[in-house]
Chains A and B, each alone.
Chain A
Amino acid sequence: MKPVRSNSSPLTGRCFPWFSIFFLLVCAFINQTLLGAQIQSPVDISLGDRALRFLQMRDYSVRIVAVGSILIGISCGMMGSFVVTRRLSLFGDTLSHAVLPGIAIGFLWVEAKDNLALLIGASMAGFLGVACVTLLKKFSKVRQDSALGLVLSGFYAIGICILTRIQKMEFGNQAGLDTYLFGQVSSLSESDLWGICISLALIVLFMTSNHRELLVSGFDLEFSKSMGLPSEAIQYAMWGLLAFCVISSLQVIGVILASALLIIPAASASLLAKRMSTYILVSALLGAIAGFVGAFLSFLGQRIPTGPLIVVVATTFFLLILFLRPSQGIIVNWLQSRRQSRQIEMENMLKAIYQVMEKQEFSEPAVRMEEVTRRRGVGKDSRAKEIESLIDSGYVSRSYEKNKFAKLPHEQFISLTPKGWENACRIVRNHRLWELYLTNEARYAADHVHEDAEKIEHVLGEETVRKIERLLSNPKKDPHGKLIPSLVDVRKGWLPEFPLNKNE
């Protein structure tokens, strides 16, 4: 039984593809405006002049190159966002390699570099390749990764065979088909640009009209099937569009690296965006930037293939985003965890001071630095540094006392400030309360609780502490028989003549 689809359902509400029709018009407009004055052969001028020429866009071919690379970046970025969320990245790679024999045959067919023939040949080869992968996966026991590898290399080899054959035939010299391997943006022509525009328009049309279906079937295939959405049809349509997208971009980026322009901008966008719509937009934007910068660099360097340049630019953006993104960027994360571990170290030091004082039964307001460092263990220097930072943040004050033996250096004593005392009490209190909680409520053995408390003491919030207190009915002693510093102690400073008066 088919579920009834009502118009009010949010999944069927389609926006009429005005947007893409508008888009086609814009493309046409761009193509018209491109027909300006032409300046030929930008050879033998300096690097700066070339950069200026590219950026001024007075050159017809430059404008084609710029617009073409940006549009390709956009279409690959948009398509890539679906490819990456559906985990089809390696299908894209296989598809782009499988296209090669189609290009070669298309070339043979008309015996010249005709775009339409190449496009038809490439589409057919691409579909054949994808069909091979699907059939192998479905009907034989070949696993998906092997199937992808087989089709990728097999088709590619056929393509190379035919290409090397073409080069030995009489019309093969003018081919320049090797631009298809790594891409050469300067060979982009106006008709190529039209192809790119059409494929981009199709992609935009498809996405705007099927946005919700794509969303649902991309994230939960079973659910979308149960809703009666035509997920199979959408999948095949996506294959077709992916093929068009890859094929129209081959001239710029080349067969071998075509999948990179699908994957890298989308992967970078996935680090930034949470919603699908922003994701697509960011991905398209990144693709456009990568395409444009890559084309620019390729124009500067003359003979350097465009594809690798675009990929390197896109990867640079990816790395920048990975390291610098605001919420979870690696650098931000690193700084945060460093700050946290510093905080924990400081708190542990305060606790050590408290424990030393406790051992002396709070007879002295100040304790020997050596004893504290000994209690904390490990490298004396790093401990000294920790105390330094405690002094800087005003938790601890330091005093020197002359040694009994005049030759030796002054002994260092440290004492807690009120702020430090409060914090030390809080940490020790957290620790002991937690130990008690574990032994009394969670039935842990008393000798097992220390490690756990050692970790949790730094993160226990005020509220949790109150709760535990209530639960244990305001205990006085921890399972090891030590006193738990109470709130009153914290406020009073416990001993009347305690560090407080010394500091004041």
Chain B
Amino acid sequence: MTLIPEYDFKKIFFEPWSTLELCIWNGQIILMGILVCWTCGIVGSFIVVRRMALMGDAISHGILPGLALAFICSGSMALGPMWIGSCVAGITCSFCIEWLRFQTPIKEDAALGLVFTSFFATGVLMLGMEAENAHIDPECILYGEIGFTPLAPDLKLGSLRLGNQALWTMGGVFLSVAIAAVVFYRQILISSFDPILARSMGTPVRQVHLGLMLSLSLATVASLEAVGVILVVAMFVFPAVTASFFFDRLSSIVFFSLPLGLAYSIGGFHLAHWFDCSLAASMVVFAGLLFIPCCFLAPNSGILWKITSLRNVGR
């Protein structure tokens, strides 16, 4: 068995879809991937234009103690308590960062690095201690396993079986994030690019910021079981940055993250099938593979064009 298995088109692309059962099983995984990518892509576009990509990183690490606490208190991995716990932790985290930054001589980057590593470490310790007397899987929260999606129980409404619960939850989160993005699009747009103008126009800049933080925590928690807290950063950053090579308008960037999410999920799935490795990680690797040519060849800001034009100028 070697590191790079033989490339077999038929095995990689047809085998997962050969029988109906396999189709349903893998379809659920891919659908979950798409929903995660879309949710994170929408939130991520706003985060990236606000230059808060690393804040996203920090929050996604910083919610860990809240998750651990919520799990210890409620004893389940249900979305409700987990979200509340993570919101509390996420807001505390961002509050600590701001406080250190403005009230002490600590610089912004050091404050960020200090707070989120401390929060993360506390969370890992809490999970580690809890793991001894409860059956929570810290690995699941840290790395996620999207392949377990089809194992989730069915959502029941009376006697009606509506299908996979995990998918329904993720779909609900996606819908609420999408609706919020559409409804508050103008406010977010103005407060992202010109907070002073936004304030003079009566836009509640602080509340917009807070709402964005809350939806960031919501997206992170919802996609936690699928991709884990570290890889979720990639889901935030990659679609937005890749889209920004092609588009300048924020709305186009947000919309372009949808086809990108589709591509990441399907491409990552088959990549993982080829290499027989972690599904979530290979989704991110696929995103990286898509990013590289875009970075070089994007029509108006690709590196290649820039270098050639520089050379022309030199002549």
A residues near B, CB below 8 A? Answer: 84, 87-90, 92-93, 97, 108, 136, 139-143, 145-146, 148-150, 152-154, 156-158, 160-162, 164-165, 168-170, 181-182, 256-257, 259-260, 263-264, 266-267, 270-271, 303-305, 307-309, 311-312, 315, 318, 322
Contacts and interface: CB of A to CB of B under 8 A. Distances in A.
Contacts of A307: 121, 124
7 contacts: A145-B51, A145-B52, A149-B54, A154-B288, A158-B285, A160-B280, A165-B3
Contacts, number: 185
B59 to A, nearest CB: 12
Interface string B214-255: 000000000000000011011011101100110000000000
A111 to B, nearest CB: 11
B181 interface: no
**B interface, size bucket:** 35 or more
B24 interface: no
B113 A93 contact: yes
A309 B295 CA distance: 40
Given A141-B301, A158-B285, A311 B118 contact: yes
Contact of A259 (B117, B124, B306): B117
B260 interface: no
B291 A182 contact: no
A427 B114 CA distance: 46
**Residue among A93, A157, A169, A309 having the largest count of chain B Cβ atoms under 10 Å:** A157
Contacts of B237: 146, 149-150, 153
Given A143-B51, A161-B282, A259-B113, A87 B107 contact: yes
B106 interface: yes
A271 B281 contact: no
A280 to B, nearest CB: 16
Contacts of A164: 277-278, 281
B276 A161 contact: no
B69 interface: no
A146 B241 contact: yes
A78 B19 CA distance: 60
A219 to B, nearest CB: 13
Contacts of A259: 113, 117
Contacts of B125: 304, 308-309, 312
A260 B114 contact: yes
A129 to B, nearest CB: 12
A256 B113 contact: no
A169 B114 contact: no
A146 B231 CA distance: 14
Main secondary structure of the interface of A (DSSP, over half): helix
B67 to A, nearest CB: 15
A270 B231 contact: no
A84 B107 CA distance: 8
A320 to B, nearest CB: 13
B175 interface: no
B260 to A, nearest CB: 14
Contact of B238 (A150, A161, A168, A309): A150
Contacts of B287: 154
B121 A257 contact: yes
Given A157-B234, A161-B275, A271 B124 contact: no
A94 to B, nearest CB: 9
Contacts of B283: 157
B256 to A, nearest CB: 16
A305 B284 contact: no
A140 B276 contact: no
B236 A149 contact: yes
A223 to B, nearest CB: 20
Interface in B286-307: 287-288, 291, 295, 301, 303, 306-307
A311 B231 contact: no
B308 interface: no
A162 to B, nearest CB: 7
Contacts of B133: none
Nearest to A314: B118
Contacts of B277: 160-162, 164-165, 168
A256 B105 CA distance: 26
